[in-house]
A and B are shown apart, each in its own frame.
Chain A
Amino acid sequence: MTAIRPFGLVRGLVIVGALAAFPFVFNEHWLVNIGVFTLMYAALATAWNMFAGYSGYISLGHVAFFGIGAYTVANTFSVSSPLRGSAYSFTSHAFMSIGSGYRPFYVLPLVGLAVALLSVPIGWVALRTRAITFAIVTLTLLFVFQNLAFNLRGVTNGSSGLSVPTPNFPVETYERPFYFAMLGVLVLGLLLSWHIGRNKLGLMLFAIREDEEKARGLGVRTTGVKLVTFALSAGLTAMAGGVWAYYLTYIYPQFAVDPLVMIGSVVPVFLGGRGTLWGPVLGALILVPAQQYMAYRLGASELYLVGYAAVFVVILLVLPRGILPSLGDAYERWRYRGARVTVQPEEVPAA
Chain B
Amino acid sequence: MTAAAALLESDALTKRFGGVTAVEECSLAVQSGSITALIGPNGSGKTTLFNLLTGYDFADSGAVRFDGRAVRRPNPIALYRAGLTRTFQQARIFPQLSLIENMTVAVHQPWRAIVYPAVRRADRERAHELLEEFGLARLVEERAGRLSYGQKKLLEFATVLMSKPRLVLLDEPTAGVNPVMVEKIEERIRALHARGLTLLVVEHNMPLVMGLCDRVIVLDHGRKIADGPPAEVQHDPAVLDAYLGT
Nearest opposing residue in chain B for A228, CB measure? B114
With contact pairs A214-B94, A219-B80, A222-B77 given, residues A350 and B172 touching in the complex (Cβ less than 8 Å): yes
Q: Is the CB of A218 within 8 A of B105?
A: yes
With contact pairs A211-B92, A219-B106, A350-B172 given, residues A345 and B149 touching in the complex (Cβ less than 8 Å): yes
Residues of B within 8 A of A213 (CB): 56, 76, 92
Residues of B within 8 A of A215 (CB): 94, 105
Report the interface size for chain A: residues with CB under 8 A from the other chain: 38
With contact pairs A202-B118, A203-B105, A207-B97 given, residues A221 and B77 touching in the complex (Cβ less than 8 Å): yes
Q: Is the CB of A217 within 8 A of B118?
A: no
Known: A201-B115, A351-B204. 16 other contacts (CB 8 A): A2-B98, A199-B117, A200-B118, A207-B94, A213-B56, A214-B88, A217-B76, A219-B76, A219-B77, A220-B109, A222-B77, A224-B111, A343-B147, A344-B149, A351-B172, A351-B205
Residues of A within 8 A of B145 (CB): 343
Q: How far is the CA of A313 from the CA of B92 in the complex (A)?
A: 32
CB within 8 A of B104: which of A2, A203, A216, A343? A203
Q: Does A342 contact B (CB under 8 A)?
A: yes
Q: Does A302 contact B (CB under 8 A)?
A: no
CB within 8 A of A214: which of B92, B108, B176? B92
Q: Is the CB of B114 within 8 A of A351?
A: no
Q: How far is the CA of A342 from the CA of B155 in the complex (A)?
A: 15
Q: Is the CB of A342 within 8 A of B146?
A: yes
Q: Does B215 contact A (CB under 8 A)?
A: no
Which 6 pairs show the lowest CB-CB distances between chains A and B? Answer: A348-B176, A219-B80, A201-B114, A210-B94, A218-B106, A203-B118
Q: Does B225 contact A (CB under 8 A)?
A: no
0/1 interface trace, chain A 324-351, chain B, CB 8 Å (1 if under): 0000000000000000001111111111
Q: How close is B42's CB to chain A, nearest CB, in angstroms?
A: 8
Q: Does A84 contact B (CB under 8 A)?
A: no
Q: Does B159 contact A (CB under 8 A)?
A: yes
Q: Does B113 contact A (CB under 8 A)?
A: yes
Q: How far is the CA of A215 from the CA of B85 in the complex (A)?
A: 12
Q: How far is the CA of A219 from the CA of B163 in the complex (A)?
A: 9
Q: Is the CB of B115 within 8 A of A199?
A: yes
Nearest opposing residue in chain B for A206, CB measure? B97
Q: How far is the CA of A213 from the CA of B56 in the complex (A)?
A: 8
Q: Is the CB of A216 within 8 A of B76?
A: yes
Q: How far is the CA of A218 from the CA of B159 in the complex (A)?
A: 8
Q: Is the CB of B86 within 8 A of A217?
A: yes
Q: Can you report 17 A-B residue pairs in the complex whose CB atoms are below 8 A from each other?
A: A2-B97, A2-B101, A2-B143, A198-B117, A200-B114, A200-B115, A204-B114, A206-B94, A206-B101, A210-B95, A211-B92, A214-B88, A217-B80, A219-B108, A221-B77, A224-B111, A347-B90
Q: Does B242 contact A (CB under 8 A)?
A: no
Residues of B within 8 A of A346 (CB): 149
Residues of B within 8 A of A349 (CB): 176
Report the interface size for chain B: residues with CB under 8 A from the other chain: 48
Q: Does B89 contact A (CB under 8 A)?
A: yes
Residues of B within 8 A of A228 (CB): 114
Q: How close is B161's CB to chain A, nearest CB, in angstroms?
A: 11
Q: How far is the CA of A183 from the CA of B92 in the complex (A)?
A: 41
Q: Does A1 contact B (CB under 8 A)?
A: yes
Q: Does B193 contact A (CB under 8 A)?
A: no
Give residues 175-215 of A contacting B (CB, 8 Å): 195, 198-204, 206-207, 210-211, 213-215
CB within 8 A of A342: which of B97, B148, B175? B148
0/1 interface trace, chain B 194-212, chain A, CB 8 Å (1 if under): 0000000000110000000
With contact pairs A2-B143, A220-B105, A221-B77 given, residues A200 and B97 touching in the complex (Cβ less than 8 Å): no
Q: Does B14 contact A (CB under 8 A)?
A: no
Q: Is the CB of A218 within 8 A of B160?
A: yes
Q: Does B96 contact A (CB under 8 A)?
A: yes
Q: Does B17 contact A (CB under 8 A)?
A: no
Q: How far is the CA of A62 from the CA of B56 in the complex (A)?
A: 31
Nearest opposing residue in chain B for A349, CB measure? B176
Q: How far is the CA of A3 from the CA of B118 in the complex (A)?
A: 10
Nearest opposing residue in chain B for A220, CB measure? B105
Q: How far is the CA of A139 from the CA of B45 in the complex (A)?
A: 40
Q: Does A225 contact B (CB under 8 A)?
A: yes
Q: How close is A351's CB to chain B, nearest CB, in angstroms?
A: 5
Residues of A within 8 A of B147 (CB): 342-343
Q: Does B32 contact A (CB under 8 A)?
A: no
Q: How far is the CA of A220 from the CA of B205 in the complex (A)?
A: 32
Q: Is the CB of B175 within 8 A of A351?
A: yes
Q: Is the CB of A344 within 8 A of B92?
A: no
Q: Does B54 contact A (CB under 8 A)?
A: yes
Residues of A within 8 A of B95 (CB): 210
Give residues 193-246 of B contacting A (CB, 8 Å): 204-205
Q: How close is B134's CB to chain A, nearest CB, in angstroms?
A: 16
Residues of A within 8 A of B175 (CB): 348, 350-351
